[in-house]
Amino acid sequence: MSANEPDLAALAETIKRWGGELGFAEVRIADVELGHCEPGLQAWLEAGFHGDMEYMASHGLKRARPAELVPGTVRAICARMNYLPAGMDADWRAREAARLAEPGAAVISVYARGRDYHKVMRARLQQLAERIRGVAGEFGFRVFSDSAPVLEVSLAEKSGLGWRGKHTLLINRQGGSFFFLGEILVDLPLPVDAPETPHCGQCQACITVCPTQAIVGAHKVDARRCISYLTIELKGSIPPEMRALIGNRVYGCDDCQTVCPWNKFAQRAAVADFDERHGLGEATMAALFAWSEEEFNRKMEGSAIRRIGHERWLRNLAVGLGNAAALAKGAPEIVAALESRRADPSALVREHVEWALARHR
């Protein structure tokens, strides 16, 4: 090692310490050889499990080849950041499950109740990269957080941040799965960390609880049946046969996570960005359905929810309001909310409103 070259082992430990200072729960390092993932990725795409997410198919196997995405890449600095809001009480899992049985409750995935994680994660990863530059000098890097064709879970698994659960999400022994992932692809040959041993055993809880049976096998999800896909990624009409299964989940679905035994260890967020905003953890569907487009855009400024737009927001809420009939058929406030959008300018919204009203008759 020359006088100008950094001590890579010492730098790796420093990077992990800096990660903690920046709010990450853990930072680890992996090589970027993901050839073992290519057959599974190809089979998943060929089965059509990606649905209308054409960007998944367009990048193809490049997702498993980080060095093609960022030439010169030899390592991935992988980070995870907890996102449970600080205000979550001890019995939060039971409370989240109970809201699924409340007729008027709007159930929104926990991760989406605060600020947009893409921006939070990338900004802090960029800060970490700048600190590395201060020690190592100029180096090649690029930061990601669900923002590029990268197999994030596979890299994180390889780094030892956790293991892939049967629901395909990463699970950590000390932190469950309620955390975001992000990476810095670098051209520095840092020492790598050992992967974690899987600890799901014979547990099938996530597979059993899925409302739409989207987990078609261990580590295999048919996105076309996943509520997160249906309420977030799908741009058009939600298939009629899937609507009743969605219940009152109006943005995403946490069922496979809340039922996971490892999430008794889920940790609260270390940063305020993920604190709940606009009462989204307690909101009713009727109240959210009344938001104008201007109100939606203003209140969802800086939120991951805003990217689906007001039209799909209303589509999702209409389905949830229709499903409320299973517990409160003909409830006046719910029917009135639906009637208020019966002449909505959007054909997509009108279609779902009519379906919902028919459920209340």
Buried/exposed code over 290-322 (b: 16+ C-beta within 10 A; e: otherwise): ebeeeebeebbeebbbbebebbbbbbbbbbbbb
- Return per-residue pLDDT of the chain as tens, 361 residues: 444 567 999 999 999 999 999 999 999 999 999 999 999 999 999 999 999 999 898 888 999 999 999 999 999 999 999 999 998 999 999 999 999 999 999 999 999 999 999 999 999 999 999 999 999 999 999 999 998 899 999 999 999 999 999 999 999 999 999 999 999 999 999 999 999 999 999 999 999 999 999 999 999 999 999 999 999 999 999 999 999 999 999 999 999 999 999 999 999 999 999 999 999 999 999 999 999 999 999 999 999 999 999 999 999 999 999 999 999 999 999 999 999 999 999 999 999 999 999 999 9
Q: Single out the catalytic residue among 31, 52, 146, 187.
A: 146
Q: Are 353 and 338 in contact (CB under 8 A)?
A: yes
Whether 273 is a known active-site residue: answer no
DSSP reduced 3-state for 139: coil
What are the phi and psi torsion angles at 108 (to 5°)? -120, 135
Question: H/E element holding 152?
Answer: helix 152-159
In 200-353, beta strands by DSSP E: 215-217, 220-221, 249-251
Length of the chain: 361
pTM: 0.95
50-66: per-residue pLDDT in tens? 999 998 988 889 999 99
Is residue 63 within 8 Å of residue 151, measured between CB atoms? yes
User: Cα dist. 208→107, 110, 155, 257 in Å?
Assistant: 20, 21, 27, 12
